[in-house]
Amino acid sequence: MQPPLAAAYSALQAGRLEEAEQLYRRALEVDPRQPDALLGLAAAAEQRGATADAIALYRRVLTLQPDHPLALAAVAELSAASDGAAQESALRQALARQPAAAALHAALARLLASQQRWSEAQLSFAAAWELEPDRAERAYDLAVALDRLRKSEAAAGMYARALAQAGSSPGFDIDAAQARLRTLREQPQAGR
């Protein structure tokens, strides 16, 4: 039998949100300060579209571990619509304290990308990928940034890398990556 947190995580990864939430709540009954259970509940709330609930749960994690990179990144991303400048500042401060936190680099990159600041986003996506080179979504994010900057050859290489690693990343959009890679490979050499 799987340990409760592992079972909850498996259910979350499989999209069985109700089951995952029940298992995470049971873990919190045993230890109300269990950060992994709080993170799991927050991720489930986020997937359900309950943004306010997710933010509240991520903030509970931050009361326990003020520099938790996943919680910091999630709060910044989920709150970015309200005040992008403040969230960018908060992410940069967190990165100054934790420069090896890939989740923080990725969150900053997504914020910059949402503002069409692709050159800056590409640098942050590259930092996240360098820290977690085996995660397909890190390679994919970097590929998108390179693509937006019209660096087609480099983008194609990163899309291919993302596809090669796709099995390790549940929820990774294989079809989108394949379609874009196919388009880039079909472009005339002069367009590269």
69, 105 in Cβ contact below 8 A?
no
Average pLDDT over residues 157-166: 92
Question: Domain for residue 4, yes or no?
Answer: yes
Q: How far apart are CA 167 and CA 179, in angstroms?
A: 17
Residue 187 half-sphere exposure, CB side, CA atoms within 13 Å?
16
- Which own/partner contact pairs does 105-112 have at CB distance under 8 Å and 24+ positions apart? 105/131, 106/73, 106/138, 106/141, 107/72, 107/73, 107/74, 107/76, 107/77, 108/76, 109/141, 109/145, 110/77, 110/141, 111/76, 111/77, 111/80, 111/84, 111/87, 112/88
pLDDT in tens, 75-121: 888 876 666 788 888 889 989 999 999 999 999 999 999 899 999 99
Question: Domain for residue 20, yes or no?
Answer: yes
> Considering the entire predicted model, what is its pTM?
0.70
Q: What is the pLDDT of residue 39?
A: 94
Question: Domain for residue 27, yes or no?
Answer: yes
Residue ranges making up the domain that contains 10: 1-66
How many domains, the chain? 1
Question: Domain for residue 53, yes or no?
Answer: yes
Question: Domain for residue 59, yes or no?
Answer: yes
Alpha-carbon distance values, 160 to 38, 113, 137, 187 (Å)? 35, 21, 12, 16
Chain Cα centroid distance, residue 100? 15
CATH of the domain at 43: 1.25.40.10
Compute how many other C-beta atoms are within 10 angstroms of the C-beta atom of residue 85.
10
pLDDT in tens, 132-148: 999 999 999 999 999 99
Q: What is the pLDDT of residue 3?
A: 78
Question: Domain for residue 188, yes or no?
Answer: no
Question: Domain for residue 9, yes or no?
Answer: yes
Residue 189 in this model has a pLDDT that exceeds 60: no
CA distance from start to end of the chain? 52
Question: Domain for residue 41, yes or no?
Answer: yes
